[in-house]
A and B are shown apart, each in its own frame.
Chain A
């Protein structure tokens, strides 16, 4: 039995400790933001935040992240609400600025990789609130275990959305 904390909620997980976190999230906890892309940490579709760092849940065993703070795509709005001390009522109505920007910029096409892209953007913007295009490219290419890959080729729209999200965050809501 492993205890993990996801999006602020503690779960006791029955799955064996060597089970990749991805399958626990998707199959046991019904957190379906992270997707199975390669199982090899080569693409980023399965990314989650662990203690604020982007981690590939497909190669991370659930026991490795016991007692650590895990955030999935589903948890981004609450993460933002907590950072901004929004009221419960406001928090319910608010998406994370990254999610808002992804909609405003119409970033996804098929959208399958975009979980990882939004996780990576959140990681980036929490440490660098106003990244340059070069810094955005660096974050999505060399900062993680592999580049975050998009087969639909939405990289231009991702860059637009990261900059848009930075602007929303600068305004504070």
Chain B
């Protein structure tokens, strides 16, 4: 075969070279390589390609285009139910490459040895330009250059349809262009493979104009749904390795207990079981799952722990946070939208709102408890089979724990129960315990947490409170808005098994940690009421509750959860805005419009007003009552801007004052993400988010005593049933002139919460500024 060298071609900052003709067995690929000093920083400190990683300088790392015109794409982002990698990613790549959706036959995601870019299963659409979009755009330009040369037609005379490049009466398919060639396109990439944000494709290749989209905008189906529904998908829970042992972990009695002695195993009952103790980590393994469960229960009953009472207990949570927590060590963060001078405006207010809003701890509460299979092999390599949102970061964390290098660790990603952010920083809970036990036994080990382990030993969404002061002037306009947000940090990525076993793991959230794990409380809810002249938003951070007092240094561990931090800041803001409208005697929806200037903010508010049949009047409603056993109805509205998407919702509720029971009867939500990539998938995500929002508003609260978390199952931590869901109406505002596409999997879960709280005020005339709106709390507060 002839070897041909070509001069490299510059493709909008990337470099295309065609080094030779080679025979490669019919699979030919387009690939990319790195430039830049940030290469793989954070793994070993060296700018080097990891072993057991896809070498990004090899052609097959991102996109494979085969001679038969089928295409494979790879992403490190491990979709757990958003559907984005299987639908939107395919649609984006198809449009950038001008191929049909069906041409992209395979999506590889998550596996650390089979995907190039890492990062977590969040912000899939990458502020409008996910890595895979840029890669496709570079590839498209490279194909035009190749075709121009092959066909002898100038590039600007070429067009592509269905993967066939045509011009001046000549044409060639992508498959034929790659046949018997090795293409190497070098594109700029930065970032850290095992960091939370992973790698980022740089540069600005020209993107397909929105007017030319033919695949984006259509409701393509998610291929993984078909295989899950038909019981054909291999889930993490299904992984079974030869010689694998089943394990359960006996977690400490409290969040500060250390081990006194592990219980003796009754060998007459459990002859095949073993107890493994590493520091404060007690594991019980057996060849069968049922024996492991029973043996662990028996061992647990005899295991002795030290006592510890270092938590305030949830009844005193907010008192503890306000009076006892250290808010002085972390720097106070000022909001980017801060302007004017709130203090004098508040001092001279015509009317003034002063209020405190409180949000409880909430669990990610996956429907299946976390689990993992680990295989620490005699050659020192470690294989982990699990469901994880950020496999590359887990890989780095496990390497740190074992004092080895990430190239020794491979994480194999499988579908599993959604856990909404819990593992976006690398671990969900059981992975490290499985590794520790596998290493001790020299065999593959499967650790499955039980329901109580998952409720009591996983991380949670942090509790918070916010103090608001708001001034209304004589014209009924907001003259000043001042808010102080107080919240412990929400990104504790430490491995719990490593903490218990006394093995290395990353530091606890602290003042000097990097921006993700620091105690700093950033302002995360973009301000949408631009005309307000005086705005002061401040974020106050502290340490996790109980962390400093616990001998294990853990306390109540917190981790970002769907719409993290923004949720905790949007609830107080939006409920306060509704209260401000009431104070001004204005309609809550029109009041928002009157304080907005952005067209898209006003657009979602008008859309939700029309779709919900909202009639203009101030709250509370005429005849609002806070007593009696007759249900009384009310409605509320809320607004959010997140990840390039504008959201507004209206909730209509019925509350029975005598019992405090709230039923959400109607939920209307308007969503403007710019370009709607896949209407069906977006609608389903929004509906699911809406239901989770109702759950957060009405049901969810982690309870704890002085020693640990006391919610341990679906009775003590209820979520909605099908009977709890209202009539849900989703209004998708396709807004292609914006030219970008925003996210749709978050926000909806936060949006319902202030709207439901405002609806309670509308119905009863009383404001409850504390979540969740459980019947007992509502009943007590309405009586007060």
Q: How many residues of A contact B (CB 8 A)?
A: 59
Bitwise interface map of A from 128 to 154 toward B, beta carbon under 8 Å scored 1, else 0: 000000001110111000111111111
Cβ of B354 within 8 Å of any chain A Cβ, yes or no, is no
B427 to chain A, nearest CB (A): 18
Bitwise interface map of B from 133 to 157 toward A, beta carbon under 8 Å scored 1, else 0: 0000000000000000000000000
Q: How many residues of B contact A (CB 8 A)?
A: 56
Those of A13-56 within 8 Å (CB) of chain B: 15-16, 18-20, 23, 26-27, 31-33, 35-40, 42-43, 45
* Docked-complex contact B723 and A118, CB < 8 angstroms: no
Knowing A32-B235, A156-B728, the reply to whether A149 touches B719 (Cβ < 8 A) is: yes
Cβ of B764 within 8 Å of any chain A Cβ, yes or no, is no
A134 to chain B, nearest CB (A): 9
* Docked-complex contact A152 and B288, CB < 8 angstroms: no
Cβ-closest chain A residue relative to B371: A36
Tell me which residues across on chain B come within 8 A of A74, comparing CB atoms.
231
* Docked-complex contact B722 and A42, CB < 8 angstroms: no
Those of A61-119 within 8 Å (CB) of chain B: 72-74, 77, 95, 99, 102-103, 106-115, 118
Stretch from B182-190, B623-631, B677-685 at the A interface: B677-685
Cβ of A125 within 8 Å of any chain B Cβ, yes or no, is no
Cβ of A157 within 8 Å of any chain B Cβ, yes or no, is yes
* Docked-complex contact B713 and A108, CB < 8 angstroms: no
* Docked-complex contact A45 and B369, CB < 8 angstroms: no
A40 to B289, CA, bound (A): 16
* Docked-complex contact A153 and B367, CB < 8 angstroms: no
B24 to chain A, nearest CB (A): 36
**Which of A26, A27, A141 contacts B722, CB < 8 Å?**
A141
Cβ of B690 within 8 Å of any chain A Cβ, yes or no, is yes
B297 to chain A, nearest CB (A): 11
Specify which of A26, A27, A112, A113 lies most central, judged by the most chain B CB atoms within 10 Å of its CB.
Answer: A112
Tell me which residues across on chain A come within 8 A of B233, comparing CB atoms.
111
Specify which of B222, B420, B451, B690 lies most central, judged by the most chain A CB atoms within 10 Å of its CB.
Answer: B451
Tell me if A's interface is mostly helix, strand, loop or mixed: loop
Specify which of A72, A102, A106, A153 lies most central, judged by the most chain B CB atoms within 10 Å of its CB.
Answer: A153
A93 to B367, CA, bound (A): 31
A51 to chain B, nearest CB (A): 21
* Docked-complex contact B81 and A106, CB < 8 angstroms: no
* Docked-complex contact A27 and B289, CB < 8 angstroms: yes
Cβ of B221 within 8 Å of any chain A Cβ, yes or no, is yes
* Docked-complex contact B720 and A153, CB < 8 angstroms: yes
**Which of B420, B713, B725 contacts A38, CB < 8 Å?**
B713
* Docked-complex contact B229 and A108, CB < 8 angstroms: yes
Knowing A99-B230, A140-B722, A158-B722, the reply to whether A106 touches B221 (Cβ < 8 A) is: yes
Cβ of B225 within 8 Å of any chain A Cβ, yes or no, is yes
**Which of A16, A35, A154, A156 contacts B290, CB < 8 Å?**
A16
* Docked-complex contact A42 and B713, CB < 8 angstroms: yes
Cβ of A4 within 8 Å of any chain B Cβ, yes or no, is no
**Which of B225, B238, B450 contacts A108, CB < 8 Å?**
B225
Cβ-closest chain B residue relative to A120: B722
Knowing A36-B237, A99-B230, the reply to whether A147 touches B721 (Cβ < 8 A) is: yes
Cβ of B417 within 8 Å of any chain A Cβ, yes or no, is yes
Tell me which residues across on chain A come within 8 A of B417, comparing CB atoms.
35, 37, 110, 112-113, 151
Q: Using A23-B288, A110-B366 as known contacts, list a sample of 9 further A-B pairs with CB atoms less than 8 Å apart, ordered by residue number in A.
A: A39-B450, A42-B451, A109-B684, A109-B688, A111-B225, A148-B722, A153-B689, A154-B688, A155-B725
